[in-house]
Homo-oligomer: A and B are copies of this chain.
Amino acid sequence: MRVLGVDPGLTRCGLGVVEGRAGRATMVAVGVVRTPSAAATGERLVYLEQELETWLDRFAPDVVAIERVFADVNVASVMTTAHASAIAMLAATKRGLPVHLHTPTEVKAAVTGSGRADKAQVATMVTRILALDTAPKPADAADALALAICHLWRGQAENRLTALAAGSRR
């Protein structure tokens, strides 16, 4: 399964593509889309959509995992984050790709074992899990990869549970 992780934002939108199967995850691509803060929000959204389309074309993920945005954190930036998140959901859904949202706590817990890990710890574990030479930068890029890994591993856990449940019914 190939997952595109999206850490939504307009100043910086982290994108990470990870491919994996049980116990393995490898990086396919990582990057950051930046849109100029001086531009109108509509223009920034159009540019972000174009970049997302390019990534969806080039890397053909099976699923898109997006960070779930909460209204009660980072009040100043939450609106633009929500705008960026909407564009990612729209672009994926228009291609018929499943969209899954994961909270920051779920993502941190998936890659570090602790839902309260800091950004450095997340970056360290992403580097280790994907066997990279150096930590992906900026943090948004590492977070996007962490989101993709989170989705891959949660999906696998759910698949195992489904398989176990199916087995116990035999």
Please measure, in the bound complex, the distance between the C-alpha atom of A94 and the C-alpha atom of B84, giving whole angstroms.
16
Interface footprint category on A: 20 to 34
B residues in contact with A69, CB < 8 Å: 79
Asked if A166 lies at the interface with its beta carbon under 8 angstroms from chain B, I say no
Please measure, in the bound complex, the distance between the C-alpha atom of A43 and the C-alpha atom of B69, giving whole angstroms.
18
B residues in contact with A49, CB < 8 Å: 90
B residues in contact with A90, CB < 8 Å: 42, 45-46, 49, 87, 90
Asked if A82 lies at the interface with its beta carbon under 8 angstroms from chain B, I say yes
Identify the A interface with B (CB < 8 A): 40-43, 45-46, 49, 69-72, 75-76, 78-79, 82-87, 89-90, 92-94, 99
A-B pairs with lowest CB-CB distance, top 7: A42-B93, A82-B82, A83-B86, A86-B86, A42-B89, A45-B90, A42-B99
